[in-house]
Amino acid sequence: MRTLLPTALAASLLLPATALAAAGTGGVAPGETPPKQTPTAPRQDGGQGSNGGAAYGGEPPAGTPTTKRRGARRPKPHRRKRRSDGRPLLELFQVSRSSLFAYGAPATVRFQIGDDSPTVRVRLLVLAPGQRSPLRTIDLGDRPTGATQTYSFDGRAGGVLPQGAFQLELSARDARGHRLRTTARASNVHDLSFHWHRFPLIGDFDYGRSADGRFGAPRPGHFHQGQDIPAPEGTPVVAPRGGRIEYVDYQAGGAGCYVVLDGAGEDRDYAFMHLRRGSVVVKPGQQVRTGQKLAEVGSTGESTGPHLHFEVWEGGHWWAGGKPVDPLPYLRRWDSWS
């Protein structure tokens, strides 16, 4: 690499740009020599400056707008003719989440399409990796062009999606059948994961060391019907699945403060026990979403320390037709993606 200027001089020439950059990008403190700047200083010798030919040595750090127009040697490139081929042009495509849960908070899809016609027909495709034919095709109808549009995606249109990784792809056609054109700036594809349940705690936890906290461990007169999950007092307890709150109650000699949830779209109930006193934020009959906070970990009732006692009942309701099953295999799986 040729160096035309002594390092110190090159660095001092760069100071104005550097100072500006420091304001915008939190970059380089005054007095420090920016490591990547010096080698680029000789660019003024006719090299093809990628920023259109700054008059001063060195390229400003990426994102510095100020030197762009200064001493430009060539005219700004002509604005590309928009829609030169008559196709609708994707101007914006954003999805507010990359991880979604069934019966959880939906993702907001925002898009904007430019075209000569006032509306275009828009579809949202859900694609599995490596598959060309979509798992779901969601018709978003005729949407106005030139204005931002939104759609709420919950993974349930056309039937609840299977679990896994997917891509959302926006497609559109105008009245003459011309298909959507995308650009490097606006891709029409967004990666997304979708799962049916999430882990019921947000924060640190473990599964306990002794077999005593496992499902099926002997208890006087019965057996342990759930899995104990030690966690710090106050750890948020969230719904592993959306649904309806069945019970909020207190049992001094056993469960302490507890909540029972009836999972939506499945034959399962969930029970959460020993919750911190006063921490329950749901009421019987209330609908909740997957991931919504229900209460906090505590140690109320018959408990020796803060933990969540978690039960899963299948084939009916909690203490009303259902049977408790071992929650641990579920918990481990949910933990792997939550």
CA angle 80, 85, 90 (to 5 degrees): 70
Give the burial class of 2: count Cβ atoms within 10 A of its Cβ; 0-12 exposed, 13-18 middle, 19 or more buried: exposed
| DSSP strands (E only) in 240-332 | 243-251, 256-263, 268-275, 287-288, 293-296, 307-314, 323-325
Structure tokens at 311: 């039960």
Nearer to Zn ion, 228 or 246 (CB): 228
Nearer to Zn ion, 59 or 228 (CB): 228
Q: Which stretch binds Zn ion (CB under 5 A): 28-36, 48-56, 119-127, 222-230?
A: 222-230
Nearer to Zn ion, 118 or 216 (CB): 216
Q: Which stretch binds Zn ion (CB under 5 A): 35-43, 185-193, 282-290, 307-315?
A: 307-315
Q: Which stretch binds Zn ion (CB under 5 A): 122-130, 149-157, 247-255, 302-310?
A: 302-310
- Min. distance of Cβ 184 from Zn ion in angstroms? 55
Nearer to Zn ion, 207 or 337 (CB): 207
Nearer to Zn ion, 48 or 304 (CB): 304
- Min. distance of Cβ 211 from Zn ion in angstroms? 12
- Min. distance of Cβ 210 from Zn ion in angstroms? 12
Q: Output the residue with the shortest Cβ distance to Zn ion.
A: 309
Q: Which stretch binds Zn ion (CB under 5 A): 101-109, 162-170, 224-232, 233-241?
A: 224-232
228 binds Zn ion (CB under 5 A): yes
Q: Which stretch binds Zn ion (CB under 5 A): 96-104, 135-143, 192-200, 228-236?
A: 228-236
- Min. distance of Cβ 201 from Zn ion in angstroms? 14
Tell me how many residues contact Zn ion (CB under 5 A): 2
Going by their DSSP bridges, the two strands 99-101 and 189-195 should be labelled as parallel
- Give the integer Cα–Cα distance in Å for 306 and 298: 5
- Min. distance of Cβ 270 from Zn ion in angstroms? 14
Residues 9-48 close enough to bind Zn ion by CB under 5 A: none
Nearer to Zn ion, 43 or 309 (CB): 309
- Min. distance of Cβ 226 from Zn ion in angstroms? 5
- Give the integer Cα–Cα distance in Å for 338 and 326: 19
Give the contacts of 152 (CB within 8 A, at least 6 positions apart).
106, 107, 108, 109
- Give the integer Cα–Cα distance in Å for 149 and 218: 58
- Min. distance of Cβ 32 from Zn ion in angstroms? 57
CB 121 within 8 A of CB 173: yes
Q: Which stretch binds Zn ion (CB under 5 A): 15-23, 42-50, 258-266, 305-313?
A: 305-313
CA nearest neighbour of 286 among 312, 265, 268, 261: 261
Give the contacts of 266 (CB within 8 A, at least 6 positions apart).
241
Structure tokens at 132: 């060309």
- Give the integer Cα–Cα distance in Å for 15 and 5: 14
Nearer to Zn ion, 140 or 275 (CB): 275
- Min. distance of Cβ 319 from Zn ion in angstroms? 16
At 190, give phi and psi (nearest 5°). Answer: -140, 130
309 binds Zn ion (CB under 5 A): yes
- Min. distance of Cβ 255 from Zn ion in angstroms? 9
- Give the integer Cα–Cα distance in Å for 330 and 297: 19
311 binds Zn ion (CB under 5 A): no
Give the contacts of 125 (CB within 8 A, at least 6 positions apart).
134, 136, 137, 138, 168, 169, 170, 171
Where along the sequence are the contacts to Zn ion (CB under 5 A)? 228, 309
